[in-house]
Structure 1
Amino acid sequence: MLKVKLKIKGKRFSIPVPYAVLHLGSYILTSKRITTLLNKAIEKDGSKFIFPEIERKELKPLLQGLSMYRGLILVQTKLKDGTEVEVRL
């Protein structure tokens, strides 16, 4: 489970993200329909960036590997205004 911890102005928030939600997100990102909608929105904005088509079989080993490294801190940052963000597997 991916755990996102936020500390903003003395308040703490913890958001657990199950692996099932990550798998669902990978299905959505690899959808050809979503890719074309993203590219149309980016083109309408005037940017020259193109969102690449990603195949599901390329993301599958990454998602399976995440469960092997439980407790690994992916992101840990603290801003000058006291805001803290931590993303942990």
Structure 2
Amino acid sequence: MLKVRMKLKEKKITIPVPYPILNLLLRVITSKKITRFVNKAIENDGKKFTIPQIDKKDVKPLLKALIEYRGLTLVETKLKDGTEVTVKL
């Protein structure tokens, strides 16, 4: 399970993201329709940047690797105003 923890000045927020939901989100993001929609939105702004199509076959090994490395800290940031964000597997 992916865990996102945010510590603000007065609040602490923890957002758990189970792997099946993460898998579903990655399938939606890698779909051809979403990629076309995002590229059309970028073209409307007049920019020349395009997002390449990502195959679902390439994402599956990534998810399997995430499951193997439980407890690993991916991101840990602290800002000057006291805000902290931590993303752990």
Q: Same fold (TM over 0.5)?
A: yes
User: Which category of TM-score, normalised to the shorter sequence, fits these structures?
Assistant: over 0.9
RMSD: 0.7
Q: Deviations over 1:33-85 (max 9, x none)?
A: 11000000111112221011000000000011100000000000000011100
Q: Which 5+ residue runs of structure 2 have no aligned equivalent?
A: none
- Per-residue deviation, 1:10: 2.3
Partner of 2:54: 54
TM-score (normalizing by structure 2): 0.96
Q: Tell me how many residue pairs correspond in the alignment.
A: 89
TM-score (normalizing by structure 1): 0.96
1:82 equivalent to 2:82? Answer yes
Give the residue type in structure 1 aligned to 2:32: K
CA distance in 2, matches of 1:17, 1:67: 13
Give identity over the alignment, percent. 60
CA distance in 2, matches of 1:44, 1:8: 36
